[in-house]
Amino acid sequence: MLTLGSNTKQTGITTAENFVRLKGHIFFAVVAFLVYVYGVQSGWGGATADDGSFFLRYAENMTHGEFWKWNLGESPIWGSSAPLYPLYLSLLMKLGASPLVALVGGGSLLGCLALTLTSWMLVRQFGYIAGALFVACTFSDGLFMWFAGTAGLESPLTIAVLSYGLWALLKSKSGIHVGVAAGLLAVQKLDLIPAAFFLICAWSVSTRSIPVKSIVLAAAIAATWYGFAWIYFGLPVPNSFITKTFFQNQQPYITWQWFGKYLLIENNHYWIVILALAKLIKLDKKSAPLIIFLGGLTVTHLIAYSLKFPLERYDWYAMPSLYSLFILGSLGAQSIWNIGTKYTYIIKLLLIVFLGYIVSQSYTIGKQTTLGVQHYLNLEKDRTNAGMWVSEHTPKNFKLLTCWGSPAFFSHRQSYDSSFLNRHYESSDLIATYAPEVIITDTGRVGDSYTLVKIFNKAINVGINYPFGVHIRNDVLSQVTDVDHTLKACSASNSCASIDTPFIDLIAKPVLGDKYGVLRIDEKPDTIFVHPGETQPTSFELDSSKFEKWGVTSLTLTASVSPHVPENVIARGGAVVGVTVYQQDNVTAERKVVKSGEPTTISLPIVKDGNYRVVIDNNKVVDTNWVLIKLEQKK
pLDDT at residue 37, rounded to an integer: 97
Q: What's the pLDDT band for 461 if we cut at 50, 70, 90? A: confident
- Residue 467, CB half-sphere, CA atoms under 13 Å: how many? 20
Can you give the pLDDT at residue 16? 62
Confidence at residue 286, expressed as pLDDT on a 0 to 100 scale: 84
Report, as an integer, the average pLDDT of 401-406. Answer: 96
**pLDDT value at residue 500:** 57
CA distance 207 to 514: 76
pLDDT > 70? residue 84? yes
Q: Can you give the three-state secondary structure of 253-298, one letter per residue?
A: CCCCCHHHHHHHCHHHHHHHHHHHHHHHHCCCCCCHHHHHHHHHHH
- pLDDT value of position 77: 95
Q: Range(s) for CATH 2.60.120.1060 in the chain?
A: 503-634
Residue 612: what pLDDT? Answer: 93
Q: What's the pLDDT tens digit per position in 305-346?
A: 999 988 889 999 999 999 999 999 999 999 999 987 778 889
Whether the per-residue pLDDT at 212 is higher than 80: the answer is: yes
What span, in angstroms and rounded, lies between the C-alpha atoms of 21 and 13? 10
- Higher-confidence position of 520 and 579: 579
Residue range 17-32, pLDDT digits in tens: 676 777 888 999 999 9
Spell out the CATH class of 503-634.
mainly beta
Closest CA to 89 of 117, 112, 56: 56
What's the pLDDT at 488? 52
Residue-level pLDDT at 499: 58
C-alpha count within 13 angstroms, C-beta hemisphere, residue 157: 25
Nearest to 225 by CA among 75, 68, 103: 68
Percent of the chain with pLDDT over 90: 74
pLDDT for position 97: 96
> Does 244 or 87 have the greater pLDDT score?
87
Average pLDDT over residues 1-30: 68
9, pLDDT greater than 70: no
Give the per-residue pLDDT at 615.
96
pLDDT value at residue 233: 95
- Average pLDDT of the residues in 359-383: 95
Structural contact between residues 324 and 230, judged by C-beta atoms closer than 8 angstroms: no
pLDDT of residue 491: 46
What distance in Å separates the CA atoms of residue 575 and residue 566, rounded to the nearest whole number? 9
What is the mean pLDDT of the segment spanning 37-60? Answer: 95
Q: Say whether pLDDT at 533 is over 50.
A: yes
Could you tell me the pLDDT band of residue 15, with boundaries at 50, 70 and 90?
Answer: low
Residue 171, pLDDT above cutoff 60: yes
Q: What is the pLDDT of residue 12?
A: 55
Residue 492 has pLDDT above 50, yes or no: no
Beta strands in 284-404 (DSSP E): 400-402
Mean pLDDT of 213-223: 97
Q: How confident is the model at residue 521 (pLDDT cuts 50, 70, 90)?
A: confident
Confidence of residue 1 (pLDDT cuts 50, 70, 90): very low
Q: Span 173-196, mean pLDDT?
A: 95
Q: What is the mean pLDDT of residues 196-219?
A: 96
The whole-angstrom separation of Cα 127 and Cα 5 is 5
Cβ-based neighbours of 64, under 8 Å, separated by 6 or more: 72
With cut-offs at 50, 70 and 90, classify the pLDDT of residue 80.
confident
* Share above pLDDT 70 across residues of the chain, in percent, rounded to a whole number: 94
Whether the Cβ atoms of residue 193 and residue 185 lie closer than 8 Å to each other: yes
Among 126, 120, 117, 65, smallest CA distance to 90 is for 65
Higher pLDDT, 251 or 427: 427
List, in sequence order, every residue forming a beta bridge with 450; answer none if it has no partner: 473
Altogether, the residues listed in the chain come to a count of 635
pTM of the entire structure? Answer: 0.81
Specify the pLDDT at position 10: 53
| Full strand arrangement of the beta sheet holding 612-617 | 507-511, 538-542, 612-617, 577-583, 586-594
1-15, 133-147, 428-442, 538-552: which range is least confident on average? 1-15
Sign, CA torsion 97/99/101/104: positive
pLDDT of residue 489: 41
Averaged pLDDT of the chain: 90
